[in-house]
């Protein structure tokens, strides 16, 4: 299917409800249950389990679903349904993709599911699958611009992305599991011919390629292992396109036995990974991107993203996550908004991206209050670096983690922040130190109580970082305030000054 507009009639999804929501993703190779805390701009999974059933094995040869896979799938869907209802989900959707929609007995499979109460089952068309996967990438990376590819066991979905909107799309029947069991010709030739048939890709050259799907996530893990990458988080992992091509070409010609010896390769993927790498290589040849970015968000997140209100979709995912989760980490009544506004004069020249990080930091600024005082900085660093939050690159993670470390300790040891220091740049390191020091000062001045910060102004000039204090409050500041102001000023390469209003 070449060049279809991705926008189209949705699967008539019901509006998001408060409480947990669940989704059963019936793919060509696997079936997965994911339960989210709620359908939101920053979906947080509280349960995630996958079972490999191989529904598409032999599909192109027989035209029918794999009988053993069907039996296994139905048994596990029953189990997933019981689990979801025990978790008190408010809604449970089932999305059946390429294998079920293309099989002659796919309708029989769906009728069998309809007998099971409590599930809203949908067969997802190729067009809808592409749309949901594209929306999933936008859900996790709101500034995504380029081409998304979602490789499943039965199909490959391609979508153009630009400024949070979807462009043209195509669905290609070249999932690795499907091709390997088809018995029809050369699977590698089928992949090459399918990619070359998508004419609209020629208009998307030079942009970022966003890779979605289990096989490509396995490729990312392998690359992480080979490169000694310090952060094992797939979402927003970036590789230079030429480097990705070199590794993909190498894996594409490996035997299953050779792949089993490679660190980072799952045994469940050794059969399908070479074809997945061939597809990646062919797409990179066609698109000529500078960078490949891997997304952990896809079909499931996109399905819920489309259900959200326009207001909810307009929120930035990192800020949404920080607002929702940060509320549970706060011990004081001091609001993140009050902290943010008080800090703003010192960060008047920040970039839009830094402003988002500062907003998130204000919401997360008391993340380690209930840890032992000697370990608050370390715990804040570890938690923030590994947050299951969308909307930030690995560099952003590093900056945010360092900022919250400095918030609790003015001189943390370099070894404590080794990973973040490796992933950041000089500009990010400076911003993190400044933000953390200013947060530390804000908590010292306010004691966590609302209404005190607006009485004392923080100002930044070309010469100094100054506190403008009413005369009646100046005597109450103390030595600690002076030291923390000095630390913050030094982070800006300025002098510190306390001025009576």
Full set of structural domains in the chain with CATH: 4-124 (3.30.420.40), 128-300 (3.30.420.150), 316-500 (1.10.3210.10)
pLDDT higher than threshold 90 for residue 386: yes
**What is the number of other CB atoms lying within 10 angstroms of the CB of residue 329?**
17
Could you tell me which residues are beta bridge partners of residue 460? 465
Q: Which of 72, 115, 77 is nearest to 94 (CA)?
A: 77
pLDDT value at residue 13: 37
Q: Give the pLDDT band (50/70/90) at residue 8.
A: very low
Element (H, E) at 346: none
Whole-number Å distance between alpha carbons of 146 and 144: 7
Beta carbons of 190 and 174 less than 8 angstroms apart: yes
Model's pTM, two decimal places?
0.91
Taking the mean position of all CA atoms in its chain, how far away is CA 421? 21
> For the segment 364-375, what is each residue's pLDDT rounded down to a tens digit?
999 999 999 999
User: Which has the higher per-residue pLDDT, 265 or 33?
Assistant: 33
Q: Give the pLDDT band (50/70/90) at residue 1.
A: very low
Q: Give the pLDDT band (50/70/90) at residue 184.
A: low
* Average pLDDT over all residues of the chain: 92
Beta carbons of 449 and 463 less than 8 angstroms apart: no
Beta carbons of 73 and 28 less than 8 angstroms apart: no
Taking the mean position of all CA atoms in its chain, how far away is CA 187? 31
Whole-number Å distance between alpha carbons of 414 and 140: 30
Taking the mean position of all CA atoms in its chain, how far away is CA 371? 27
Strand, coil or helix: 87: coil
């Amino acid at each position: 299917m070449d060049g279809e507009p991705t926008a189209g009639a949705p699967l008539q999804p019901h509006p998001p409800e408060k409480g947990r929501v669940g989704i059963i993703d019936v793919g060509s190779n696997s079936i997965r249950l994911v339960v989210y805390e709620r359908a939101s701009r920053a979906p947080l999974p509280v349960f995630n389990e996958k079972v490999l059933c191989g529904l598409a094995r032999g599909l192109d040869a027989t035209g029918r679903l794999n009988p053993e896979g069907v039996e296994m799938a139905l048994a596990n869907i029953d189990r997933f349904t019981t689990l979801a209802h025990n978790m008190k989900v408010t809604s449970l959707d089932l999305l059946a993709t390429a294998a079920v929609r293309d099989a002659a007995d796919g309708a029989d499979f769906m009728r069998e599911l309809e007998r099971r109460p409590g599930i809203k089952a949908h067969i997802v068309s190729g067009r809808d699958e592409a749309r949901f996967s594209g929306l999933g990438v936008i859900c996790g990376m709101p500034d995504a611009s380029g081409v998304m590819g979602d490789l499943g066991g039965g199909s490959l979905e391609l979508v153009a992305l630009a400024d949070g909107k979807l462009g043209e799309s195509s669905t290609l029947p070249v999932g690795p599991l499907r091709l390997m069991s088809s018995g029809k010709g050369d699977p590698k030739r089928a992949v090459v011919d399918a990619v070359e048939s998508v004419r609209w890709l020629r208009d998307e050259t030079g942009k970022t390629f966003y890779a979605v799907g289990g096989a490509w996530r396995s490729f990312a893990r392998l690359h992480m292992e080979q490169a000694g990458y310090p952060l094992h988080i797939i979402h927003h992992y970036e590789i230079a396109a030429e480097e990705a091509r070199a590794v993909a070409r190498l894996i594409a010609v490996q035997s299953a036995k050779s792949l089993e010896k490679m660190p980072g390769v799952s045994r469940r993927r050794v059969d399908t990974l070479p074809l997945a790498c061939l597809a990646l290589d062919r797409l990179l040849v066609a698109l000529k991107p500078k960078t490949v970015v891997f997304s952990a968000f896809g079909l499931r997140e996109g399905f819920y993203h489309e259900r959200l209100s326009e207001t909810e979709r307009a929120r930035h995912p990192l800020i949404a996550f920080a607002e929702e989760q940060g509320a549970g980490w706060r011990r004081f009544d001091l609001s993140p908004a009050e902290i943010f506004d008080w800090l703003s004069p010192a960060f008047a020249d920040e970039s839009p991206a830094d402003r988002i990080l500062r907003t998130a930091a204000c919401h997360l600024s008391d993340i380690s209050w209930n840890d032992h005082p000697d370990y608050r900085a370390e715990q804040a660093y570890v938690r923030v670096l590994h947050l299951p939050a969308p909307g930030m690159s690995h560099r952003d993670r590093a900056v945010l983690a360092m900022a919250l470390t400095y918030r609790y300790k003015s001189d943390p040891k370099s070894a404590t922040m080794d990973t973040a220091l490796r992933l950041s740049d000089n500009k990010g390191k400076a911003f993190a130190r400044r933000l953390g020091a200013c947060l530390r000062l804000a908590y010292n001045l306010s004691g966590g109580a609302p209404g005190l910060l607006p009485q004392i102004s923080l100002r930044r000039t070309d010469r100094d970082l100054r506190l403008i204090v009413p005369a009646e409050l100046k005597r109450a500041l103390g030595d600690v305030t002076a030291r923390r102001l000095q630390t913050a000023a030094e982070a800006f390469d300025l002098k510190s000054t306390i001025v009576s209003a």
